[in-house]
């Protein structure tokens, strides 16, 4: 774990480059490139898709960090210095998703983009972005796991990480960040395969909502941090609750979108 990639002395001061920030920048560039490539396959203008991805990514980033602060506002109010941890953490993904969806709808309408085609492309990019982003979480120590005696358990030792993310030091923990990174890669592969066989536009997007909600709820069982908030303390976290609800709504909207697409196809 290296929360600080390297330091540079500048005019008598030390400039620190956070590892999470570097990985976030690489993730951002990767999403822009991938979205453009996938968009061309669906007949979408690559430049419009890049602009769309850029706008939605920023909205999601702000939403994820905002929900993180809202879930633990009492602590941040009592300890303003803890706001630094927001800059070095991923935030709460579902906060990002809730901010990204209305932004995506607005942007697609403004540019006249086929929303469901764009949504399917985005559904492949998101889990790949999550896979990279969780490596950033691992480097900074946020989103850490519960104590574990498994052979692949990890032990964090950085005082910087402890100060900013409150990760326990010297204790073997589940590498939940790596679990969720691998989860993102698997989801992206599954959704990419589905994209080439989809029966209607929007199918890939709703399967992302379903699969991510189910897998996120499972991996939450191994999380040890409490900053993400709980609906039922120590039993049902905020993200786990949203994940389970999203599975139900995902299936409902998948069925709705399927019927909508079939009705459109049968209309002369």
> Quick one: pLDDT at residue 74?
67
> Whose CA is closest to 73, among 47, 57, 52, 92?
92
User: Phi, psi at residue 167, to the nearest 5°?
Assistant: -70, 135
> Quick one: pLDDT at residue 208?
97
Instruction: Write out the H or E segment, with its range, that includes residue 236.
Output: strand 236-237
> Whose CA is closest to 164, among 136, 122, 133?
136
* pLDDT average per 10 residues of sequence, the chain (268 residues): 73 74 84 89 91 90 81 66 59 82 93 94 92 87 92 92 86 96 96 94 96 95 82 79 93 95 76
> Quick one: pLDDT at residue 88?
57
* 91, two tokens: 């935030």
> Quick one: pLDDT at residue 1?
66
β-strands 4-10, 13-18 pairing: antiparallel
> Quick one: pLDDT at residue 57?
86
> Quick one: pLDDT at residue 83?
60
């Amino acid at each position: 774990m290296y929360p600080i990639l390297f330091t540079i002395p500048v005019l008598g001061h030390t400039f620190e480059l956070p590892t999470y920030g570097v990985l976030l920048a690489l993730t951002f560039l990767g999403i822009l490139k991938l979205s453009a490539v996938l968009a061309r396959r669906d007949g979408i203008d690559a430049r419009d898709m890049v602009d769309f991805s850029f706008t939605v990514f920023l909205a999601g980033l702000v939403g994820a960090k905002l929900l993180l602060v809202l879930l633990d506002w009492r602590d941040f109010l009592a300890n303003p210095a803890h706001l630094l941890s927001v800059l070095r953490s991923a935030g709460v993904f579902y906060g990002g998703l809730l901010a990204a969806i209305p932004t995506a709808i607005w942007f697609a309408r403004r540019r006249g983009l086929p929303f469901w085609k764009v949504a399917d492309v985005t559904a492949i990019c998101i889990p790949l972005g999550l896979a990279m982003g969780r490596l950033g979480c691992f480097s900074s120590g946020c989103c850490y796991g519960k104590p574990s005696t498994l052979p692949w358990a990890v032990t964090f030792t950085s005082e910087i990480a402890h100060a900013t993310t409150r990760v326990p030091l010297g204790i073997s923990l589940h590498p939940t960040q790596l679990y969720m990174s691998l989860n993102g890669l698997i989801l992206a592969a599954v959704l990419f395969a589905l994209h080439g066989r989809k029966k209607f536009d929007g199918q890939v997007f709703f399967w992302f909502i379903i699969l991510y909600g189910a897998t996120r709820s499972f991996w939450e069982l191994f999380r040890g941090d409490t900053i993400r908030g709980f609906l039922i303390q120590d039993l049902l976290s905020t993200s786990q609750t949203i994940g389970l609800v999203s599975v139900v709504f995902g299936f409902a909207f998948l069925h709705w979108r399927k019927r909508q697409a079939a009705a459109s196809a049968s209309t002369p």
